[in-house]
Amino acid sequence: MSGNAFAAACDVVPPARSGVAAGVLNMTGGFTGAAMVLVAGYAKSTIGFGALMTWSAALTGVAGCVLMLGAAAWYQKDGEQSVVVPLPA
């Protein structure tokens, strides 16, 4: 996953800034990972492990649905602008 993320980051920035993009991506991942460990530890001590897993699964499902709806809307808009060339039979 990380290899694809860094390559995708380099696709959206000028070549001279690819190192900065990779550094910001790496730094953001580190901060996010540290913050989530803290949040998970707090949640486990307050709502319990079972509820923590339930909420994690529910939020992951919601995030997946939002991602799929966003991708569908994006590709529908992109598809309206593209030209479809039929494949030879």
Q: What are phi and psi of 14, to 5 degrees?
A: -60, 150
Q: Are residue 1 and residue 41 in the same domain, yes or no?
A: yes
State residue 35's pLDDT score: 96
Q: Are residue 39 and residue 65 in the same domain, yes or no?
A: no
**What predicted TM-score, i.e. pTM, was given to this entire model?**
0.57
Tell me which DSSP letter residue 15 carries.
Answer: G
State residue 83's pLDDT score: 65
User: Contact 21/10 with Cβ under 8 angstroms?
Assistant: yes
Tell me which DSSP letter residue 13 carries.
Answer: S
Residue range of the domain that includes 25: 1-47
Confidence of residue 79 (pLDDT cuts 50, 70, 90): low
Tokens for 84, please give them. Answer: 């479809």
The residue-averaged pLDDT of 58-72 equals 94
| Residue count of the chain | 89
